[in-house]
């Protein structure tokens, strides 16, 4: 173990997650550098370059920091991540907090609070951003009208679509498309 690795473990330094894993000879458990589950002494620490190496040597993944689950960072970030995944998969459906909370087996106000705390955005803002991201992509297809784009992104009306689009991007869909075309023309001229 290097001094740097030991320092990372002692400070539970998240920025080292994924760079190495550490096992404890005394418990046979392997953790991420950021884990706060156990205090340890340097002489009991074994460093592994990957989680696979640790598992091959018979170490068991810690239940608190879950080094065997790459996306897992703790209960709150994990919930936020699941919520984001749900929103991405259900972007076409109208936004209903109750439905999301039910699907994730959590209380709806806890979900809303936790998501905002972790992501710095509300669930509805993420939902809109995902839809608008798709809309931008579709708007580059000139054969689709703005109304068609709005329906294909799950909006119930094109005026509501225009409002949300403006809020997220600062311009309305038609303006966005015009600006996109201009950029395209300029790029072609440069070529």
For residue 45, the SS3 value is strand
Point out which span in 25-33, 92-100, 112-120, 135-143 binds Zn ion (CB under 5 A). Answer: 25-33
Does 46 bind Zn ion (CB under 5 A)? Our answer is no
The reply on whether position 64 binds Zn ion by CB under 5 A is: yes
Contact between 9 and Zn ion by CB under 5 A: the answer reads no
Query: In this structure, how many other beta carbons lie within 10 angstroms of the beta carbon of residue 128?
Result: 21
Binding-site size, Zn ion (CB under 5 A): 6
Query: Which among 37-45, 102-110, 119-127, 153-161 is the span making contact with Zn ion, rule CB under 5 A?
Result: 37-45
Q: Answer for the pair 108, 98: CB distance below 8 angstroms, yes or no.
A: yes
Q: Which C-beta is closer to Zn ion: that of 20 or that of 161?
A: 20
Q: Which is nearer to Zn ion, 65 or 135 (CB)?
A: 65
CA gap 116, 122 in Å, rounded:
5
37 forms part of the interface with Zn ion (CB under 5 A): yes
**Residue choice 8, 31, 87, 153 for contact with Zn ion (CB under 5 A):** 31
Residue nearer to Zn ion on the CB measure, 29 or 139: 29
| Tokens describing residue 180 | 């996109």
Looking at residue 62, what DSSP letter applies?
P
Q: Which of 40, 51, 54, 62 binds Zn ion (CB under 5 A)?
A: 62
Pairing mode of beta strands 29-31, 60-61: parallel
Query: Which segment (45-53, 64-72, 103-111, 155-163) binds Zn ion by CB under 5 A?
Result: 64-72
Q: What does each C-alpha distance from 131 to 118, 120, 146, 172 come to in angstroms?
A: 21, 18, 14, 14
- Give the one residue of 9, 35, 40, 123 binding Zn ion; rule: CB under 5 A: 35
Q: Which residue is nearest to Zn ion (CB)?
A: 62
Category of 101 on φ-ψ map: left (φ > 0), alpha (ψ -120 to 50) or beta: alpha
Q: Supply 6's token pair.
A: 């030991």
Handedness of CA 165, 166, 167, 169 (dihedral sign): positive
Q: Would you count residue 40 as binding Zn ion (CB under 5 A)?
A: no
Footprint of Zn ion (CB under 5 A): 31, 35, 37, 62, 64-65
């Amino acid at each position: 173990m290097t001094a740097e690795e030991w320092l990372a473990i002692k400070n539970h330094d998240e920025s080292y997650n994924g760079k190495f894993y550490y096992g404890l000879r005394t418990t046979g458990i392997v953790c991420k550098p950021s884990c706060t589950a156990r205090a340890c002494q340097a002489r009991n620490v074994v460093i592994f370059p990957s989680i696979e190496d640790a598992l091959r040597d018979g170490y068991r993944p810690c239940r608190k920091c879950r080094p065997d689950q790459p996306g897992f960072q703790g209960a709150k970030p994990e919930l936020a991540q699941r919520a984001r995944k749900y929103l991405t998969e259900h972007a076409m459906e109208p936004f209903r907090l109750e439905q999301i909370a039910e699907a994730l087996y959590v209380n709806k106000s806890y979900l809303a609070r936790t998501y905002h705390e972790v992501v710095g955005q509300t669930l509805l803002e993420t939902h809109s951003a995902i839809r608008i991201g798709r809309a931008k992509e579709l708007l580059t297809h000139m054969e689709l009208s703005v109304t068609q784009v709005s329906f294909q992104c799950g909006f119930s009306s094109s005026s509501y679509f225009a409002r949300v689009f403006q809020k997220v991007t600062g311009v309305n869909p038609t303006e966005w498309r015009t600006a996109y075309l201009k950029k395209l023309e300029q790029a072609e001229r440069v070529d």
